[in-house]
Amino acid sequence: MTFTPRSFRAWLVALLLSCWGWALAGDVHYNQMDIKRESGNRFVFSLSLNLTHVLHQVLAPQTPLADFLKTYSDASDKELQTALTKAATQLGDKSFVLLPSGSKVSIRQWQLPPLAAMREALKAHAFLTEMPSATPVHVPPMWVQAHGQSKAPVSRAQLQVHKALHPVWVIHQQDQFWLTDQIPLAIVSFE
């Protein structure tokens, strides 16, 4: 019978756990959107987003990511809240459902995570960007919700979202599709 020293077993367990973590860290999380119809004319858009990337693309796409993360993770609560409000407004301005009549139903009331959670996500992402480039990094997705409401019931409409959300995997009942820079809109049936 062979005996494995405790230190070797501990080292082996640590190695297995860290390799498992690397596999998960390398996994890419794509933005996702689930559309639910609350009534004939009210819709809820639930999104799982790489929110720090989305905010970077909305608020300061010309700024290097590391600088953006540092600036906003160190910002005062008031400055960060103002930036998040601005980002939600910009996301809403360019995310909409176009009805067959030609009228737009804006996707509004963007509910971002609490300020403290956003600050922690920005700090964590900033820390991860300082890792050696060979180390894969992964920032967990964050949940966001938004709403749209038309004046009359909707059976079909064209969906278009802010390009900062691209690529986004959209799910509505049995329909599943991508919205990307190359395919920025899709027809959704709400019947």
- Is there a domain that residue 7 lies in? no
Nearest to 43 by CA among 55, 33, 35, 52: 35
- Is there a domain that residue 9 lies in? no
Local structure of residue 131 (DSSP, 8 states):
S
Mean pLDDT for the stretch of residues 159-163:
97
Domain that holds residue 160: 28-189
- Say yes or no to pLDDT of 10 above 60: no
Mean pLDDT for the stretch of residues 69-90:
97
- Is there a domain that residue 76 lies in? yes
The pLDDT value given to residue 40: 78
- The pTM of the full predicted model, rounded to 2 decimals, is 0.81
List Cβ<8 Å contacts ≥24 apart for 120-126.
Answer: 121/51, 121/52, 122/52, 122/69, 122/72, 122/73, 123/69, 123/73, 125/52, 125/69, 126/66, 126/69, 126/70, 126/73
- Say yes or no to pLDDT of 88 above 50: yes
Taking a C-beta distance cutoff of 8 angstroms, is the pair 54, 31 a contact? yes
Total domains in the fold of the chain: 1
Q: Provide the mean pLDDT of the chain.
A: 86
- Say yes or no to pLDDT of 25 above 60: no
- Is there a domain that residue 1 lies in? no
Identify the band that residue 44 occupies on the pLDDT scale cut at 50, 70 and 90.
very high
With b for 16 or more beta-carbon neighbours within 10 A and e for fewer, the 159-181 pattern comes to bbbbbbbbebebebeeeeeebee
The pLDDT value given to residue 16: 35
